[in-house]
Amino acid sequence: MHAGLTSVEAKRQLEKYGPNTMLEYASRSVFTIAREILSEPMLLLLVVAATLYLLIGDFAEGLLLAGFAILTIGLVFYQYQRSENALAALRKLGAPSARVVRDGKECTISAREVVPGDLMVLDEGERVPADGTLVSNAGLVVDESLLTGESVPVRKRAGDDGQLAAVPGGDDQPFVYSGTLVVKGHGVATVSDTGPRTRAGRIGVSLASIVVERTRLQTSVNRIVRLFGGLAAIVCSALVIFYGVYREDWLQGVLSGIALAMGMLPEEFPVVLTIFLAIGAWRLARIKVLARRPAVIETLGAATVLCVDKTGTLTENRMRVRLLDTLTDQLEVETDLREIPQAFRPILDAAWLATRHASIDPMDQAVIGLASRAGEYQTINWPMVREYGLKPELLAMSIAWKDDAGHFAVACKGAPEAIIDLCHLTDEKAASIMKHVQAMAEKGLRVLGVGIGTTMRSELPESQHDFDFTFTGLVGFEDPLRTTVPAAVREAFRAGISVKMITGDYPATALSIASAAGIDTNDGAVTGDELERADDPEMQRLVSRANVFARIMPEQKLRIVEALKRQGEIVAMTGDGVNDAPALKAAHIGIAMGRRGTDVAREAAGIVLLDEDFGSIVSAVKMGRRIFDNLRKVMIYISAIHVPIAGLALVPLIAGMPPLFFPAHVVVIEMIIDPMCSIVFERTPAERDIMIRPPRSVEDVLAGIPQIIFGLVQGSVLLIVCLALYQGVLLQDASVEAARTAAFIAITAGNLSLALVNSSREAVLMHMVIRGRMTFWIAATIAVSVVSICIVQPNLAELFGFTRLEIGQAALAAGAGVSGVLLFDLLKLLPAVRRIMG
């Protein structure tokens, strides 16, 4: 064994390169994060609204808003910790201890003390503590799926002549990488890189440098907040000036301005946003989808491209035997197969005897699983006498057992070319076998040849070539496609979402899996080498043309995502390995796998599929679209209802009419508005065409000028109807109380009608009692009951300034409020109006 470093040299290297850990980035202080959070206009509005209500409004309402403010700030604070959590998960990937050669002796040290130049000793079942190059190797096979995303381990060879590039994945390379797992064999490697300079470490640096973009929902709400804030400031300032200049009462002007601000302040916006996303996250959790950043739910509904990692996302991330080929017959191995036909027994016998039965290698486990299902191998308990490992010059292994009679039983498996060599077959026979191998490879299968050997010697030979092997057949392995994937891909296409598969696997395998999943493969596969050579214009062309990307490295996944984003696409990226983390974080929506996904992928993603059901993505897309639709509807409703609230409080005062609204009236109306916003609209069922529409345009904001104007027009019509009714009753020499009662009934009926009309893009008069609208009718019944009690109960009637009306008068007032709004239900027959609402 090589002498390795001395203790003195190791100490010098540790001082030079630092510990073998990920970079520690200085975390922001609580005050710094709080300042960043409170600079958000949406949160500022919530805080200001809570403060106004606590100081000059209803104290209970103020406490409620303050509670929402604290909850929202807490949720945003949690989101700021995501990057730090992802880096912390990366640091946990390192092995807690490592075996190295120091001062000529093997010793165990903390993994953080490994330094460049160390000789690290690697054995089966251990994680590699640092990046390095093998100097000795005995059948070493390493699972590098953590970096490549591919489920099949790769074999290694010792020595580096300087001709190979250190790239994870691919057989017969001398390089090993930090955090990967040794599944077979053992070896010794010289450490080349530690800590942040390792492959995994560089991913950590990449994660730290990526800025998470604001979601479209956050951008849209902030735009609405600024619009309403500016409008309120202009109107309130004009009112103050009007009172001060024309009535010379500046104090009353300021108080009236504050009162108007309270009427115009749409504090429901941030509250509704919080509630919608919280309930949406809860609904997704019920179908095993965890929304780590709730605002991403809405963005998922706008996704135009879904970038899918093959292994563990489209496939199950495990190997299973799919095909047995005797060269004269083939057996498709189904998952429920319990008995192997007699003609295929020799293949399974050879494969089982050539497998170590305690192996953690995925292909070995696939063979063991098939043999276990067949049942007949359960009672065989022969001792293993010798294993002949893989060598670069012979990519085959053999195992010798001693049977119950004391004879040697030998079998081999490996690359078909190597098994052909061991069996000493003719060129004609070898060519025939390779045709079968090529056909299986085109189906996306990984192929091993197997053979049964004999020996006449009493002692085992030193070389596999000294056995007399008989070729028994070929075994095809696959990483099976998830059963839910084809239907989910079809649903995504119907919803206008392009699906692109990005994998580190070979093009033939990638195209086979993509075709089985239903992804368009007409343009073939773009390889990592092509992307490496492509300049930016060529990169744009490749990512827009192709749907399958093969032999892709982590940095290239990130480059693909960024190229799609530059084309204006809303990108969702699925993945489960460390290699996916930078792209997950850079995408608009990162979707990680829950059970098989690494901590790093889960921390970098905004959404985690807990049951790893690809079909759940479609449900999440539908949920995102439904949330956006209902948020847009509720924004129109809020814009509309605040017009009559503010107008009925202000116009009578300016016009010299008796005051219509007292603070108590506003409280009752708010009692109706809040449940309508937070419960009724959230429970509104999805539109029937929600999953056959194309994704929304990037410029299509949550509530732009058309939606705000549409809401203001609705509210203005209702305001005019209520004012006309109020004035009309007064002109009939009725009491102020009767006029106020009639106007209040009208605005209550109009309020409920606004909620009903704005709850659907279709005319609701034709779908009044559809499934899912029961919540509205319950809320409406409660609202009507509360208002009725306030009118008929003497003490409450005196408090509110109401009086009992005749049934006909009350019905007329309610009809006026309803008719003023239902006009807009008929307008929804116009396509332009439906586009505004959805």
The dihedral formed by the CA atoms of 370, 376, 377 and 379, expressed in degrees to the nearest 10: 140
CB 82 within 8 A of CB 590: no
Neighbouring C-alpha atoms within 13 Å toward the C-beta of 466: 11
Taking the alpha carbons at both ends of the chain, their separation in whole angstroms is 72
* 733 carries an active-site annotation: no
Say how many C-beta atoms besides its own lie within 10 A of residue 341's C-beta.
10
Distance CA 548, CA 545 (A): 9
Instruction: Give the integer Cα–Cα distance in Å for 606 and 625.
Output: 17
The answer to whether 583 touches 602, Cβ cutoff 8 Å, is no
- Run of H or E residues at 743: helix 736-757
Q: How many CB atoms lie within 10 A of CB 492?
A: 24
Residue 172 region by backbone torsions, left for phi larger than 0, else alpha for psi between -120 and 50, else beta: left
* Alpha-carbon span 493 to 499, nearest angstrom: 8
Q: Which of 118, 143, 193, 309 is catalytic?
A: 309
Q: β-strand 320-325 against 330-332: which pairing, if any? A: antiparallel
**CB of 712 closer than 8 Å to CB of 741:** no
Strand runs labelled E in 262-329: 289-291, 305-309, 320-325
Contact criterion met (CB below 8 Å) for 547 and 520 = yes
Task: Identify the CA nearest to 228 among candidates 770, 787, 712, 669.
Answer: 712
Closest by alpha carbon to 580, among 318, 308, 315, 319? 308
Report the run of H or E that residue 792 belongs to, with start and end: helix 774-792
The two tokens of residue 660 are: 């219509």
> Which residues in 47-69 are b (16+ Cβ under 10 Å) and which e?
bbbbebbbeebbeebbebbbebb
Residue 486's CB: how many other CB atoms inside 10 A? 17
Residues in the chain: 838
Burial of 643 (0-12, 13-18, 19+ CB in 10 A): buried
Query: Which CA distances in Å does 485 have to 330, 477, 665, 692, 694?
Result: 27, 20, 55, 19, 21
Q: Which residues does 615 contact at the CB level (< 8 Å), separation at least 6?
A: 484, 485, 487, 488, 491
**Rounded CA separation 84/81 (Å):** 5
The structure tokens 């049964």 sit at 452
Beta bridge partners of 398: 388, 412
Q: Which residues are catalytic?
A: 309
